[in-house]
C-alpha cells in the first residue's frame, strides 16, 4: 500500500476476478464516482437549483431535504450496472431490488447530516457492503454488521475524503478535484486508545439513563473529579463529522437511547449508519457498542432499525461500558460499589 496511490489502483490490488472482492471493488468504484457527483452538488449550496429545499419526510420520519433525494437518486443510478442485488437506503421505505442474482447488498445513508446544510457544516455519504443471499433477491438483506465485506463514508468538508475499510485496516482517500479521483493520503489509521474529549447532545441530559448521566457528570468534574483530568465536549450533529474527528484525533461519541417518545433505541439507524461506522472504528483500533453489546453483533430486524451507539477510543468506550455495568449491578442490589464505583478509570 503506497501513499498517493489512486483508489482504483488500491482496489485493483486487492481484488481477484470471480471472488467477492472483485464485486466489492467494482461497487466501491461506482459509489466513489457517485460521491464526487454528490460533493459537487453539495458544494453549489444556494447557487444550485436545489439549495436548502425540503420535500416531505423520509421512511423513518425525518424531514427530507431535496439534496437527500437527489443524492439517493445519484447513488441508485451509479449502482444500476454493478453487482448489487439490493439497495437499502435511508430515503426509501423498503429495500430496492437492483440486479436480482447479484452477490452484494448495499446499505446507504445518501446524505448524512443534511440538516446542517444551511450552516455549511460537514455532511457525508455512509455506505455498507454485505453479501447477498443467493437467489434471495432482497430476502436476507437484513444482517449483522459482522458480515460486512466493506464499509465507508465520504465526508464533504474543506476537503472531500473517502474513508474506507475492506476488513484489513481503515484508509483515507482525499479527492483530487482536478483529476476527479481519490488518492490515498492516510494509510492504516489508528485511533488513540485514550482521550479526554467526548461528544454528546447534552441538551437531552434530563432524558438519559443514570449510567450516561454518571459518565458525563464525572467527566465534567475535571481533574478534581473521579476521572482525574479535564475533558472537552464536542457536538456537531453530523455523524460523519463526529467520526472523522475521532479517527483523526481520538475521542468518544455517544448517542444513547433515552426516555423520550420514540428514542428508546436512540436515533441512529443500524444498517446504514451504526454498522458501517462501527466497522471503520474497529478496523482503526477503536470500539463501538450500545453500552451492553458490540454494534457489529446486532442483527437488523428492519431496514430502518435503530440502536444506541457509543464509539471511539477503545479505553474510553470500555470505561463507558463499565458505567453501564455498574448501574446494572446497583440495580441488582450489589454492595460492591461505593458512590463513585470501582470501574470508572
Going from N- to C-terminal start, the domains of the chain cover 7-186, 197-331
- Count Cβ atoms below 10 Å from residue 222 Cβ, excluding itself: 13
pLDDT at 339: 47
* 210 class by beta-carbon count within 10 Å (0-12 exposed, 13-18 middle, 19+ buried): middle
pLDDT band at 338 (very low <50, low <70, confident <90, very high): very low
Nearest to 84 by CA among 68, 100, 108, 62: 100
Closest CA to 214 of 321, 292, 315, 306: 321
- Say whether 300 sits in a helix, a strand or coil: coil
7-186 sits in which CATH class?
A: alpha beta
Quote the CA–CA distance of 315 and 95 in Å, as a whole number: 37
- Cβ pair 195, 250 in contact under 8 A: yes
Tell me how far apart the alpha carbons of residues 198 and 212 are, in angstroms, rounded to a whole number: 12
- pLDDT at position 106 over 90: yes
Half-sphere exposure of 141 (CA within 13 A, CB side): 31
Residue where the block lists cell 478509570: 345
Give catalytic residue positions. Answer: 62, 68, 90-91, 109, 111-112, 273
pLDDT tens per residue, range 54-66: 566 676 667 788 9
Q: In what order do the strands lie in the sheet with 252-255?
A: 232-234, 197-199, 252-255, 309-312, 287-289
Q: What is the pLDDT of residues 215-239, one digit of tens each?
A: 999 999 999 999 999 999 999 999 9
Query: pTM of the prediction?
Result: 0.93
- Domain 197-331: CATH architecture, name and number where available: 3-Layer(aba) Sandwich (3.40)
What pLDDT is attached to residue 61?
67
Amino acid at each position: 500500500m503506497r501513499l498517493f496511490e489512486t483508489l482504483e489502483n488500491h482496489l485493483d490490488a486487492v481484488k481477484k476476478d470471480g471472488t467477492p472482492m472483485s464485486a466489492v471493488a467494482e461497487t466501491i468504484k461506482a459509489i466513489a464516482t457517485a460521491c464526487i457527483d454528490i460533493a459537487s452538488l453539495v458544494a453549489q449550496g444556494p447557487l444550485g437549483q436545489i439549495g436548502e429545499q425540503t420535500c416531505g419526510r423520509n421512511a423513518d420520519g425525518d424531514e427530507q431535504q431535496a439534496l437527500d433525494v437527489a443524492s439517493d437518486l445519484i447513488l441508485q443510478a451509479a449502482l444500476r450496472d454493478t453487482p448489487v442485488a439490493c439497495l437499502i437506503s435511508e430515503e426509501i421505505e423498503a429495500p430496492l431490488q437492483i440486479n436480482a442474482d447479484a452477490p452484494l447488498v448495499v446499505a446507504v445513508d445518501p446524505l448524512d447530516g443534511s440538516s446542517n446544510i444551511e450552516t455549511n457544516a460537514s455532511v457525508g455519504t455512509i455506505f455498507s457492503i454485505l453479501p447477498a443471499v443467493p437467489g434471495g433477491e432482497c430476502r436476507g438483506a437484513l444482517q449483522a454488521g459482522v458480515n460486512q465485506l466493506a464499509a465507508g463514508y465520504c465526508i464533504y468538508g474543506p476537503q472531500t475524503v473517502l474513508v474506507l475499510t475492506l476488513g484489513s485496516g481503515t484508509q483515507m482517500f482525499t479527492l483530487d478535484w482536478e483529476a476527479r479521483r481519490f488518492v490515498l493520503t492516510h494509510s492504516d489509521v489508528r485511533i488513540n486508545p485514550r482521550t479526554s474529549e467526548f461528544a454528546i447532545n447534552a441538551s437531552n441530559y434530563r432524558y438519559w439513563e443514570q449510567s450516561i448521566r454518571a459518565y458525563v457528570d464525572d467527566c465534567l468534574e475535571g481533574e478534581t473529579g473521579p476521572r482525574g483530568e479535564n475533558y472537552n465536549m464536542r457536538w456537531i450533529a453530523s455523524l460523519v463529522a463526529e467520526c472523522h474527528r475521532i479517527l483523526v484525533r481520538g475521542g468518544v461519541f455517544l448517542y444513547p437511547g433515552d426516555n423520550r417518545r420514540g428514542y428508546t433505541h436512540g436515533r441512529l439507524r443500524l444498517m446504514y449508519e451504526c454498522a458501517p461506522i462501527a466497522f471503520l472504528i474497529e478496523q482503526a483500533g477503536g470500539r463501538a457498542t450500545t453500552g451492553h453489546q458490540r454494534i457489529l453483533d446486532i442483527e437488523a430486524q428492519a431496514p430502518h432499525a435503530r440502536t444506541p451507539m457509543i464509539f471511539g477510543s477503545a479505553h474510553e468506550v470500555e470505561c463507558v461500558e463499565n458505567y453501564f455495568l455498574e448501574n446494572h449491578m446497583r440495580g441488582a442490589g450489589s454492595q460492591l460499589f461505593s458512590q463513585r464505583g470501582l470501574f470508572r478509570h
